[in-house]
Amino acid sequence: MIAEFRLPDLGEGLTEAEVVQWLVSPGEKVALNQTLAEVETAKAVVELPSPYEGTVSSLHAEAGETVAVGAPLIAFDVAGEEPQTPTPAVEGAEAEGSEKTQPNLVGYGAAPTTAGRPARRARRIGGASPAADTAVLEAAPHDASPSASVETVIERPRSTPPVRAHAKRLGVDLVLVAAEVGDRLITRQDVDAYAERLAARSDATRTPAPVPGSAARPTGHQPDRETRIPIRGVRKHTAAAMVQSAFTAPHVTVFHTVDVTATMDLLARLREDRALSGHRIGPLAVVAKAVCLALGGAPGLNARWDEEAGEIVQHGYVDLGIAAATDRGLIVPMIRDAERMTLVELADAIASLAETARAGKTSPAELSGGTFSISNIGVFGVDAGTPILPPGQSGILAVGAVRRQPWEHAGEIALRQVMTLSLSFDHRIVDGAEGAAFLKAVADVLEEPGRAMLLR
């Protein structure tokens, strides 16, 4: 019998995922829990295990294709009676009362029904009267436009909320798309393809005839001279989060340039210590330790604004986010309970975090729930910036490059190693005095690492 596996609910409210690569192919025999594919959500790359033992019948998506939660992903030829396919609930579906929820290995969803797909609520198009008979639009010419009059009542096209929003932005009527793709779930690719056909026909009708004797000049849209990169995965999630943060929390950024010569001298001595030869302790680890110490005296910077409850929630722990630039985009994995760690433990945690992020193996759990973040812009040779707060956090510190430059020291001008710190904070929670005091506390530790012994 053929068993179909649909993309499961991967948690965190995610509605779609991109197939990174298939690890099986049609005709291949697979074992229970064998990894079928790697899919990339808006937060991480996830391995999907097989819920069946059998032979791969077909793949419903290609590598690089975005699949909606609940859409068919892969089909198996399995022995015995037809199994209940693990699948998440899809918008518009209604589970039979006698059926039980089946585990789908990543999330949970309603088991499929053999009675066919439930009817969807009707949508009225054009000037059809309430008494008009319900009908399904079976076909439409490829040159149909979104403004075409359809004097009938049709079923609501099968799609997910993100696809419907995408179609609305492009001005595409999903009814006309459904007429082309049939009764299957409409994807973003279907919407994009329909929009491109409309645009091509529109450009063709608007292109003016060349003036005799004039040289041809490229005008308007020039596909051969442009590169279009789909906005999806981590980049899509990051963009949405940054827009939400920038237009929700009133950002304030303050800067402080500090002499870190003593810190750099300390790190040089630690590198020569044979007992620490297996650890990579760098300036970022010292900054992380200084931040954890300084947050003890600045509770507003280790807090979040709870709009619904009308409360400011102060955290009694530090889940420290470390921004990491990867090939998939910017992610901010976190180190849990960072305030309990020694300098060496923080250095090891940062190194492990970076290695996992570069490999694309950061789990969704490591990307959620941070209380304060650090962005090391110094690795790019940048001195200062205005970092945007991760949603749900009230503070983020950007660490600039360490540079040797003339600096006043002990009443004289000398070549010293300096670094600029940039602190952005939510002005609803943190006022200027608390932000400045926190930044000064971090700077004091970097100027004189021995001062860390005086903080708790």
Buried b (16+ CB within 10 A) or exposed e, 251-272: bebeebbbbbbbbbebbeebee
Buried b (16+ CB within 10 A) or exposed e, 199-210: eeeeeeeeeeee
Q: What is the pLDDT of residue 318?
A: 97
Q: What is the pLDDT of residue 372?
A: 98
The CATH number fitting domain 2-109, selected from 1.10.10.10, 3.40.50.300, 2.40.50.100, 2.40.50.140: 2.40.50.100
- The DSSP symbol for 296 reads T
Q: Is 53 exposed, middle or buried (0-12, 13-18, 19+ CB in 10 A)?
A: middle
- Kindly compute the dihedral angle of the four CA atoms of residues 341, 346, 349, 353, in this order, to the nearest 10 degrees: 130
Q: Has residue 128 got a pLDDT over 80?
A: no
Mean of the per-residue pLDDT values for the chain? Answer: 79
User: What is the residue extent of each domain of the chain?
Assistant: 2-109, 122-204, 234-454
Q: Has residue 21 got a pLDDT over 80?
A: yes
Quick one: how far is CA 327 from the chain centroid?
Answer: 13
Q: What is the pLDDT of residue 283?
A: 96
CB 177 within 8 A of CB 158: no
Q: What is the pLDDT of residue 142?
A: 41
The residue ranking higher by pLDDT, 10 or 320, is: 320
The residue ranking higher by pLDDT, 191 or 141, is: 191
- The DSSP symbol for 134 reads B
Residue 367 and residue 335: Cα distance in Å, rounded? Answer: 10
Q: What is the pLDDT of residue 202?
A: 59
* pLDDT confidence band for 157 (50 / 70 / 90): confident
Give the number of other Cβ atoms within 10 Å of residue 433's Cβ: 8
Percent of the chain with pLDDT over 70: 76
Q: Has residue 152 got a pLDDT over 50?
A: no
- DSSP strand E in 121-172: where? 122-125, 152-155
- Kindly compute the dihedral angle of the four CA atoms of residues 159, 165, 166, 171, in this order, to the nearest 10 degrees: 100
CATH number of 234-454: 3.30.559.10
Residue 257 and residue 421: Cα distance in Å, rounded? Answer: 6
- Spatial neighbors of 412 by CB under 8 A, at least 6 apart, are none
* pLDDT confidence band for 167 (50 / 70 / 90): confident
Highest mean pLDDT among 165-179, 216-230, 398-412: 398-412
Catalytic residue ranges: 427
* pLDDT confidence band for 73 (50 / 70 / 90): very high
Q: Has residue 211 got a pLDDT over 70?
A: no
Q: What is the pLDDT of residue 143?
A: 42
234-454: same fold as 2-109?
no
* pLDDT confidence band for 72 (50 / 70 / 90): very high
DSSP, residue by residue, 181-231: HTTSPP-HHHHHHHHHHHHHHHHHHHPPPPPTTPPP---S--GGG------
Please state whether the predicted TM-score (pTM) of the whole model is above 0.85.
no
Buried b (16+ CB within 10 A) or exposed e, 129-161: eeeeeeeebeeeeeebebeeebebbbbbbbbbe
Q: Has residue 393 got a pLDDT over 80?
A: yes
Crossing angle of helices 161-170 and 188-206, rounded to 10°: 10
Q: Has residue 38 got a pLDDT over 90?
A: no
Average of pLDDT values for 155-175? 75
Q: What is the pLDDT of residue 288?
A: 97
- The DSSP symbol for 95 reads -
Q: Has residue 99 got a pLDDT over 60?
A: no
- Kindly compute the dihedral angle of the four CA atoms of residues 142, 148, 151, 154, in this order, to the nearest 10 degrees: 60
Where do we find the tokens 């059809």?
Answer: 128
Q: Has residue 217 got a pLDDT over 90?
A: no
| Length in residues, the chain | 456
Average of pLDDT values for 172-183? 80
* pLDDT confidence band for 274 (50 / 70 / 90): very high
Q: Has residue 388 got a pLDDT over 50?
A: yes
Q: Has residue 253 got a pLDDT over 90?
A: yes
Residue 264 and residue 447: Cα distance in Å, rounded? Answer: 10
Residue-wise pLDDT for 421-444, tens only, equals 999 999 999 999 999 999 999 999
Q: What is the pLDDT of residue 251?
A: 92
